[in-house]
Structure 1
Amino acid sequence: MQKPLFLTLAAVLLAGAVQAQITVGPRLGGNLATVKLETDQADAPDTKSLFGPQVGLTLNAQFGNLSVQPSLLYSRKGFQLDDSRNVDFDFDGDGDDEAYSLKTTAKARLGYLELPINLVYSTGGAEGGFQVFAGPYVGMGLGGSYNVKARIEGDGLEYSDSNSSGVKYADKASDDEDDDNLYVRRFDVGLNAGIGYKTGPVQAQLGYGLGLSNLVPNDADGNDTGEKAQNRAFHLSLSYFFSLNN
């Protein structure tokens, strides 16, 4: 009983694949990305968005008004953290602390090899028209950069400094106190949804990516830090499709 059912399902899927209109083409766009940050700190820094490129290939398998669109992309995400607070320091060494203003800006740019698979509904079928789409994605971290700038002002003193380092993908942070790299978990899983428009071979889409994975690794001892950071990104893309059907 199970074997005939399996063969029937396989035959239906194969027939659908044969009847589908297959197109593929380059995809170019950008992300306006940040993170949703959850921490126990009462004075947690503010998060802001950074722009990053998105480039790759998209395949479109059209079945009437519905299509499946898997893509293979290089997608750069990231975030900016701005922190401002008052601190007490004894810079002149006289034993008395003075009040200073400390402003810090950190920018993290995270590169991903990303595979989104979207189910797309087009009002005009293969010809295009207005679209709505949704689907999951999985991303693998491929590198990045981390920059921190700090400025101290007060009591006639103005001092600024900056530091640039890299991004390392790991499940656990480093125990090296001299390691200035930003540690982030390598894999990210989430959901995409949005709208678009397709006319002929040209497709434009505007979407939102909701990351579900926690990017914050465990501490150097392997313990959960209790903090959470998840990718969030608006993305705008333009694709041009070429037919693969004879």
Structure 2
Amino acid sequence: MFALFGKQLSAQSVKFGATAGINFPTISAYNNPTHSIDRSKTYSNIKLGIIAEKQWTKVVLQSGLLLDGKGGKDIYINEETSTNRQKATRLYYLQVPLNLLYRTQTKIGDLYFGGGVYAAYGLWGNYSLSGIIFDSDVDGSTKAQFGNDENSDYKRTDYGINFKTEIRFLHGIGLELDYEYGLKDIATPGIYDDANLKTRNKVFGVGISYLFKHK
């Protein structure tokens, strides 16, 4: 992926831009024996970065370097233990997407749609707890740990597939919708292995982009 991106950057026709937006991520856990899915509630996060793309008549190869916010919100209620707590998770990744988009003209601008793949590296994250646990009020934040051992919360790396749609106006400003589906199990060893759970990131995002060199 990096080799392809670097090859495109060496071409004179490559255009550069910036993107920013809001992500609405979830973390899902798939239980193989029961074929059930436990999915967190959506939680908002950010997306910032630079983009680079090479354009042909109808096809665009697009990549970039993003700070991609993921995570989710989990609500647990247990009346027997007098527990009603909310756990909000924010995870931040350095992410490289590689998308192949089809371009067509409309009355208001160029429409792009297509998809591709992404690779991501976990930078930092945190948990925010609020509510009541065993009749005691809780309100605080804890740092999330990336790693591959049982003392870590999530694996450091992630990868998956992208789906993207963007409408770009005459002055290089674009509005975009994208969806990321994680293919890697990001759960660390331990209880997740015993329960045979597969945990993945999923992200729906909206954003605005600006192409510095536009036609």
Q: TM class by shorter-chain length?
A: 0.7 to 0.9
Contact 1:45 1:83 in 2 (8 A): no
Superposed CA offset, 1:121-141 (max 9, x none): 11039x952221200001100
Is 1:168 aligned with 2:145? Answer: yes
Letter in 1 for 2:42: S
Is 1:238 aligned with 2:208? Answer: yes
Query: C-alpha displacement at 1:243, in angstroms?
Result: 2.4
1:45-60 to 2 correspondences below 5 Å: 47-60=40-53
Q: Structure 1 residues 118 and 128 mapped into 2: Cα distance closer, same or farther (>3 Å)?
A: farther
Secondary structure, counterpart of 1:224 in structure 2: helix
2:77 to 84, 93, 99: 84
Is 1:209 aligned with 2:209? Answer: no
| Aligned-partner Cα distance in 1 for 2:29–2:60 | 35
Q: Structure 1 residues 55 and 140 mapped into 2: Cα distance closer, same or farther (>3 Å)?
A: same
Aligned residues: 202
Contact 1:21 1:63 in 2 (8 A): no
Superposed CA offset, 1:186-222 (max 9, x none): 11101110321112312221011101111110029xx
Number of the residue aligned with 2:68: 75
Number of the residue aligned with 1:117: 98
Secondary structure, counterpart of 1:243 in structure 2: coil
| Aligned-partner Cα distance in 2 for 1:61–1:128 | 18
Contact 1:46 1:82 in 2 (8 A): no
Number of the residue aligned with 2:113: 132
Unaligned runs of 5+ in 2: 1-6
Q: Structure 1 residues 244 and 236 mapped into 2: Cα distance closer, same or farther (>3 Å)?
A: closer
Secondary structure, counterpart of 2:193 in structure 1: coil
Contact 2:30 2:38 in 1 (8 A): no
Is 1:219 aligned with 2:211? Answer: no
| Aligned-partner Cα distance in 2 for 1:120–1:45 | 32
Unaligned runs of 5+ in 1: 1-13, 88-99, 175-181
Query: C-alpha displacement at 1:235, in angstroms?
Result: 1.0
Query: C-alpha displacement at 1:233, in angstroms?
Result: 0.7
Letter in 1 for 2:115: A
Q: Structure 1 residues 152 and 145 mapped into 2: Cα distance closer, same or farther (>3 Å)?
A: closer
Identity %: 23
| Aligned-partner Cα distance in 2 for 1:45–1:148 | 19
TM normalised by structure 2 equals: 0.83
TM normalised by structure 1 equals: 0.73
Is 1:102 aligned with 2:83? Answer: yes
RMSD across aligned C-alpha pairs, in angstroms? 2.9
2:59 to 66, 71, 74: 66
Secondary structure, counterpart of 2:188 in structure 1: coil
Number of the residue aligned with 1:193: 163
Number of the residue aligned with 2:3: none
Query: C-alpha displacement at 1:63, in angstroms?
Result: 0.9
Q: Structure 1 residues 215 and 55 mapped into 2: Cα distance closer, same or farther (>3 Å)?
A: same
| Aligned-partner Cα distance in 2 for 1:71–1:130 | 19
Contact 1:46 1:83 in 2 (8 A): no
Number of the residue aligned with 1:23: 15
Letter in 2 for 1:227: L
